[in-house]
């Protein structure tokens, strides 16, 4: 080892690696926020971004491994040069890429992120293995692997800093310049670290490996153990936002816990990791069963079970990965395999799964993969309490597997039609899960037990729905069609009802949030009195086409829709509102904000903004720039209607501020229809440049003025939902 003067300076290398990781995970949501006006609010946007980041991380680790053949001094100089070159692309700004063709978002989104942040992200991402190698060059350095825990702690801090500090306090321009200053500070730390190892002339990568043999099985584990948590992190995000609840910033929780799992799994003190290794099989069975059992109910318990499963299992797999680490001579190779595994998990979940599956099948598949990899440890001794005879053990496991599957199937069939589960249902589930834990005595029986629970507690039902063709999946979400006993046909977007059409003679009647007493229903039914005859109506967000049946003779209708899958539901015969009421309506495909900006001024007399991504309204449709586009599209005396129903965000004060800044008149109607199963409460805000259309509309119901504006106006450069979250509704 090199003969170096002075202390190893662990604090310096820890700070340098922390700073780099902090910047990496601060820039990820920042760039996604920059691109929001072009991307909308689909959950898969974040998964696409993560896929790019994992690919860049793999490239960075490959570069770190490639320059390992040089002396440490030359490595440092090369990396400083790369950092300086990447710094020439700062401050970050969105790449000038033409808008995507409809249906090509899965390719276009990664391309946009790659061009925008690629060089800087690549340069910074290489630092984790490089800094650990440089630190290990000191004879008194000790184990360098715990520095990776500091790296992921920095990532976690950067991830939380964005929604809690950067986004609420700074505009995008200030965020970009702040990140640039952080990059310069990090560059100084790296230069200091390189200087502190200036006398390390020995090529560490060329040192003997102490006869350590690394076979293909061990290398395969270096790939699989990070691949499963990486995929599980993304699948948990999709699973939560699609099948449980669509909550703003929900993607922060899985990613944050994923990063923390590395911190615990790679910690030098192994006591916490040992606890997670012990708990993982139990949590995998219990939380996996609960999560799939409660999926589709917008159930907080299912959300908690899902994120707990991710954290415990990811920590256990990362702890096992740490236990399989090589000596420091193979450090960069080890991290290269890790990055490749993470990228593989991302490719499977973010790229292949949306194309291959019509539901979030990647989530249960990754749970099964985790069951095949988590150490069973002390759980293997459970069967010794019953019998030490191998034949008896085999019989008990087979019978136990049969009982677990059938008991779980009976329980799921009993509660499938229940909206709320009673205590006896949860007690029965607990008994089944406790019995299933006995099957952890053997690897095969444990994997089969997980598969049995996942299939019986909802997987089989979803499989039948897939076989029957009741679901479709696109880049913007998962859709399913169900038929009620009363004849109503329902389109679900994740857990959110996207539209309802009654059967028989009532098939033309508007339903859901668009009934005759809703704000939009009152406006469209009285459009002639409000804006005059032969009105031109524009509707952003097609859904199942419910609004079409408010059309009056002489009116010209235009719908804007970003998702081709939704269009197929309305044109393919599943829902017939368009065919029955507006067969000649124009249909504009793509992001509505961009499409509206391309139209001539004064194109519409009434413009309806009803664009939801599951339960979330795309933020870029509620900025001052978006409002300017809507105003331009409205004719003099026109009316703008915003659908702002939301369980988790108070949008009324946001719109009130927008109206104040833009000089618009505004009022709101909260509709509480007579209780029936196909009409829902809704909140609609009406805005107009003049009082006339609002005066005419106010005669239709007891519309009221908006609440007082709160906070800064939302712009493309600045917006934060954090101050407007309805925290009690999260529980």
pTM of the model: 0.78
Residue among 56, 16, 336 at smallest CA distance from 205: 336
| Least-confidence region, from 245-254, 275-284, 324-333, 695-704 | 245-254
Q: How high is the pLDDT of residue 721?
A: 80
- pLDDT bin (cut points 50, 70, 90) of residue 248 is very low
CB contact at 8 A, 514 and 497: no
- pLDDT bin (cut points 50, 70, 90) of residue 138 is confident
Q: How high is the pLDDT of residue 696?
A: 95
Q: Is the pLDDT confidence value at 613 over 70?
A: no
Instruction: Say which residue, 246 or 704, is predicted with more confidence.
Output: 704
Q: How high is the pLDDT of residue 210?
A: 47
Instruction: Report how far residue 712's alpha carbon sits from residue 723's, in angstroms, rounded to the nearest whole number.
Output: 11
Architecture of domain 8-207: Up-down Bundle (1.20)
Q: How high is the pLDDT of residue 615?
A: 55
Mean pLDDT of 323-342: 87
Q: How high is the pLDDT of residue 473?
A: 81
Question: Torsion angle, CA of 596/601/603/608, rounded to 10 degrees?
Answer: 50
**Could you state, in order of their start, the residue ranges of all structural domains in the chain?**
8-207, 377-472, 489-730
Q: Is the pLDDT confidence value at 435 over 70?
A: yes
Q: How high is the pLDDT of residue 548?
A: 95
Report the percent of the chain where pLDDT is more than 90. Answer: 37
Q: How high is the pLDDT of residue 688?
A: 96
- pLDDT bin (cut points 50, 70, 90) of residue 93 is confident
Q: How high is the pLDDT of residue 694?
A: 96
Instruction: Say which residue, 3 or 229, is predicted with more confidence.
Output: 229
- The DSSP element (H or E) to which 641 belongs, if any, is strand 634-643
pLDDT in tens, 484-522: 877 788 888 766 778 899 988 889 999 999 999 999 999
Mean pLDDT of 349-354: 83
Q: What is the mean pLDDT of the chain?
A: 84
Q: How high is the pLDDT of residue 159?
A: 85
194: Cα separation from own chain's centroid: 37
Question: Residue for token digits 């964005």?
Answer: 162
Length reported for the chain:
731
Q: How high is the pLDDT of residue 453?
A: 87
Overall fold of domain 489-730:
Rossmann fold (3.40.50)
Mean pLDDT of 244-267: 77
Instruction: Report how far residue 731's alpha carbon sits from residue 299's, in angstroms, rounded to the nearest whole number.
Output: 9
Q: How high is the pLDDT of residue 202?
A: 43
Instruction: Say which residue, 84 or 674, is predicted with more confidence.
Output: 84
Q: What are 478's strand-pairing partners?
A: 473
Report the percent of the chain where pLDDT is more than 70. Answer: 88
pLDDT in tens, 582-599: 999 999 988 788 889 999
Q: How high is the pLDDT of residue 296?
A: 57
Tell me the H-state helices in 357-422: 362-373, 390-415
Q: How high is the pLDDT of residue 181?
A: 96
Q: How high is the pLDDT of residue 2?
A: 45
Mean pLDDT of 302-324: 91
Mean pLDDT of 410-437: 75
Q: How high is the pLDDT of residue 367?
A: 93
CB contact at 8 A, 26 and 158: yes
Instruction: Report how far residue 27's alpha carbon sits from residue 118's, in angstroms, rounded to the nearest whole number.
Output: 11
Tokens of 53: 């980041």
Mean pLDDT of 560-571: 87
Question: Residue for token digits 């009152």?
Answer: 522
Mean pLDDT of 599-606: 96
Instruction: Say which residue, 47 or 461, is predicted with more confidence.
Output: 461
- pLDDT bin (cut points 50, 70, 90) of residue 357 is confident
Q: Is the pLDDT confidence value at 205 over 60?
A: no
Q: Is the pLDDT confidence value at 310 over 80?
A: yes
Instruction: Report how far residue 398's alpha carbon sits from residue 452's, in angstroms, rounded to the nearest whole number.
Output: 12
Q: Is the peptide bond prior to 164 cis by the omega test (within 30 degrees of 0)?
A: no
Q: How high is the pLDDT of residue 243?
A: 53
Q: Is the pLDDT confidence value at 4 over 60?
A: no
Mean pLDDT of 453-481: 80
Q: Is the pLDDT confidence value at 42 over 60?
A: no
- The DSSP element (H or E) to which 702 belongs, if any, is none
Residue 6's CB is within 10 A of a number of other CB atoms, namely 9
CB contact at 8 A, 49 and 351: no
Q: Is the pLDDT confidence value at 209 over 60?
A: no
The CA–CA distances, whole Å, from 270 to 10, 11, 90, 275 equal 19, 21, 40, 9
User: If phi over 0 gives left and psi between -120 and 50 gives alpha, with beta otherwise, what is residue 458?
Assistant: left
Question: Residue for token digits 């089969």?
Answer: 448
DSSP state of 544: T
pLDDT in tens, 275-306: 999 999 988 888 888 777 766 555 567 778 88
Q: How high is the pLDDT of residue 23?
A: 94
Mean pLDDT of 609-631: 80
Q: Is the pLDDT confidence value at 88 over 90?
A: yes
Q: What are 264's strand-pairing partners?
A: none
Instruction: Say which residue, 104 or 135, is predicted with more confidence.
Output: 135
Q: Is the pLDDT confidence value at 417 over 70?
A: no
Q: Is the pLDDT confidence value at 483 over 50?
A: yes
């Amino acid at each position: 080892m090199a003969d170096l003067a002075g202390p190893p300076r662990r604090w310096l290398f820890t700070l340098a690696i922390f700073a780099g990781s902090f910047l990496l995970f601060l820039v990820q949501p920042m760039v996604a926020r920059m691109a929001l006006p072009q991307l909308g609010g689909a959950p898969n946007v974040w998964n696409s971004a993560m896929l790019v980041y994992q690919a860049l991380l793999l490239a960075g680790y490959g570069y770190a491994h490639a320059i390992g053949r040089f002396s440490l001094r030359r490595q440092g100089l090369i990396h400083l040069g790369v950092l300086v070159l990447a710094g020439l692309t700062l401050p970050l700004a969105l790449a000038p890429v033409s808008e995507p063709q409809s249906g090509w978002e899965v390719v276009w989104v990664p391309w946009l992120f790659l061009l925008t942040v690629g060089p800087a992200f690549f340069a910074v991402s290489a630092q984790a293995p490089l800094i650990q190698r440089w630190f290990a060059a000191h004879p008194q350095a000790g184990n360098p692997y715990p520095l990776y825990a500091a790296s992921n702690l920095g990532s976690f801090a950067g991830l939380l800093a964005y929604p809690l500090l950067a986004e609420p306090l700074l505009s995008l321009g200030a965020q970009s310049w702040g990140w640039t200053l952080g990059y310069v500070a990090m560059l100084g730390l790296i230069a200091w670290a390189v200087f502190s190892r200036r006398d390390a002339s020995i090529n560490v990568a060329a040192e003997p490996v102490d006869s350590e043999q690394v076979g293909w099985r061990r290398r395969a584990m270096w790939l699989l153990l990070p691949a499963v948590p990486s995929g599980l992190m993304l699948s948990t995000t999709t699973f939560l936002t699609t099948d449980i609840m669509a909550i703003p910033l929900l993607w922060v929780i899985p990613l944050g816990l994923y990063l923390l799992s590395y911190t615990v799994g790679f910690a030098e003190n192994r006591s916490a990791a040992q606890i997670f290794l012990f708990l993982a099989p139990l949590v995998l069975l219990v939380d996996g069963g609960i999560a799939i059992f409660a999926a589709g109910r917008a159930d907080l318990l299912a959300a908690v079970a899902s994120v707990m499963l991710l954290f415990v299992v990811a920590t256990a797999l990362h702890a096992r990965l740490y236990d399989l680490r090589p000596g420091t001579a193979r450090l960069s190779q080890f991290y290269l395999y890790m990055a490749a595994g993470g990228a593989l998990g991302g490719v499977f979940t973010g790229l292949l799964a949306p194309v291959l599956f019509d539901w979030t099948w990647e989530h249960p598949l990754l749970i099964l993969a985790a069951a095949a990899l988590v150490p069973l440890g002390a759980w293997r001794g459970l069967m010794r309490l019953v019998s030490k005879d191998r034949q008896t053990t085999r019989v008990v496991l087979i019978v136990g597997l049969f009982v677990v599957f059938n008991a779980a199937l009976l329980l799921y069939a009993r509660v499938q039609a229940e909206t709320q589960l009673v205590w006896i249902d949860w007690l029965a589930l607990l008994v089944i899960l406790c019995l299933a834990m006995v099957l952890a005595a053997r690897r095969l029986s444990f994997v089969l037990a997980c598969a049995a629970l996942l299939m019986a507690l909802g997987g089989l039902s979803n499989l039948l729905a897939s076989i029957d063709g009741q679901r479709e999946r696109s880049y913007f979400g998962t859709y399913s069609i169900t038929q009620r006993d009363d004849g109503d046909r329902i389109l679900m977007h994740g857990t959110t009802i996207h539209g309802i059409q009654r059967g028989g003679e009532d098939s033309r009647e508007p339903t859901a949030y668009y009934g005759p007493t809703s704000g939009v229903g009152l406006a469209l039914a009285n459009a002639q009195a409000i804006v005059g005859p032969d009105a031109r109506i524009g509707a952003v967000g097609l859904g199942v086409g419910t609004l079409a049946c408010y059309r009056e003779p002489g009116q010209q209708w235009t719908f804007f829709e970003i998702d081709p899958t939704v269009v197929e539901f309305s044109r393919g015969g599943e829902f017939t509102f368009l065919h029955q009421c507006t067969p000649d309506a124009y249909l504009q495909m793509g992001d509505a904000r961009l499409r509206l900006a391309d139209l001539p001024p004064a194109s519409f007399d009434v413009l309806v903004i009803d664009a939801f991504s599951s339960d979330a309204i795309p933020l870029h449709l509620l900025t001052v720039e978006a409002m300017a586009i809507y105003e331009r599209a409205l004719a003099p005396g026109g009316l703008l209607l915003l659908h702002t129903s939301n369980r988790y965000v108070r949008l009324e004060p946001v719109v009130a501020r927008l109206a104040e800044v833009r000089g618009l008149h505004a009022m709101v109607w909260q509709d509480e229809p007579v209780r029936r199963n196909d009409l829902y409460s809704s909140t609609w805000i009406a805005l107009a440049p003049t009082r006339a259309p609002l005066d005419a509309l106010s005669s239709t119901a007891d519309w009221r003025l908006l609440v007082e504006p709160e906070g800064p106006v939302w712009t493309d450069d600045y917006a934060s939902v954090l101050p407007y979250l309805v925290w009690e509704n999260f529980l």
